Amino acid sequence: MRLLLLALILSFIGLSYACKGNFNPYTTTIGQCGSTDRTDWLPTDNAPVLTPANLDPAELAVHEARMDHILAMGTALKRKFVASIYHQNGTLMCTGVNMGKPNIISHGEIVAINNCTELHGITVFTNYTLYTTGEPCAMCAGALVWADFKTVVWGTYNSDLLCKICMSNIPMDSAYIFGRSYGLRSSSTTLIGGVRRAQADAFFGSYCSNPNSIYYIQPKCACTPQ
């Protein structure tokens, strides 16, 4: 009986000290693994996301005007996910709208990238900024990292799209993906979230009482009263 009790206490202590994953900074080599090593990813923080409060007024005004443009496009076309791509010299190069065509992965960002390639032959987007009404989903964030965008700007956050607006989405902040660009290159994308946030949130509206919508899903989110 005493042994059983001891075993229980020891396993309880073990559990309380158990970490997520097996990363131990004192015993892990960071870098190229040897042929007999067990390999794992480097624990990585999400990328930082700037907000309008972090920007100087002149820069913010430029982002707001460009966000207004795609929100107006979406309103006119009755489509929610619209993206635009600007050269760093300020030229609007192309736009993209999620029309559900030619297939279900034709999100605004992907359409805009493909339009820029078709129209202008752009294959890498190092000198470009992408604007999107809604934060890039996990798929698009991955595409934007591969495309090497200099800056990505969005209106409504993924967490709000799923948790408050009841639109189906992969429950992941794009900053999770953008924070892992070190696997491709040393430079990283500047992220600016919540530009014209109130207007963008109102533009998306709410699908929570519209379960017949193609966008609708019942959210499963962790909610904290503020």
Q: Which residues contact 97 (CB under 8 A, 6 or more apart)?
A: 73, 74, 77, 79, 81, 82, 83, 108, 111
User: Which SS3 state, helix, strand or coil, does residue 132 take?
Assistant: strand
Nearer to Zn ion, 28 or 117 (CB): 117
Question: Who's near 177: CB < 8 A, 6+ residues apart?
Answer: 136, 138, 141, 142, 145
- Minimum Å gap between C-beta 136 and Zn ion is 6
Q: Which stretch binds Zn ion (CB under 5 A): 40-48, 122-130, 133-141, 156-164?
A: 133-141
137 binds Zn ion (CB under 5 A): yes
We find the least distance from the C-beta atom of residue 58 to Zn ion, in angstroms, to be 30
- Gap between the Cα atoms of 201 and 139, Å rounded: 21
Quick one: which segment of 87-95, 106-114, 152-160, 195-203 binds Zn ion (CB under 5 A)? 106-114
User: Is residue 140 close enough to count as binding Zn ion by CB under 5 A?
Assistant: yes
Tally of helices (H runs) and strands (E runs) in the chain: 7, 6
Nearer CB in complex with Zn ion: 67/83 = 83
Spatial separation of the C-alpha atoms in residues 111 and 132, rounded to whole Å: 11
Q: Please identify, among the stretches 20-28, 117-125, 138-146, 176-184, the one whose residues bind Zn ion according to the rule CB under 5 A.
A: 138-146
Give the rounded distance of the alpha carbon of 156 from its chain centre: 11
Shortest gap between Cβ of 201 and Zn ion (angstroms)? 18
Amino acid present at 23: F
- Applying CB under 5 A, the span of 99-107, 117-125, 178-186, 204-212 interacting with Zn ion comes to 99-107
Near Zn ion in 35-64, by CB under 5 A: none
Does position 107 interact with Zn ion (CB under 5 A)? The reply is yes
- Strands (E) located in the chain: 49-50, 82-87, 92-97, 128-134, 151-156, 190-192
Q: Count residues near Zn ion (CB under 5 A).
A: 4
In terms of CB distance, is 28 or 217 closer to Zn ion?
A: 217
Binding site for Zn ion (CB under 5 A): 107, 137, 139-140
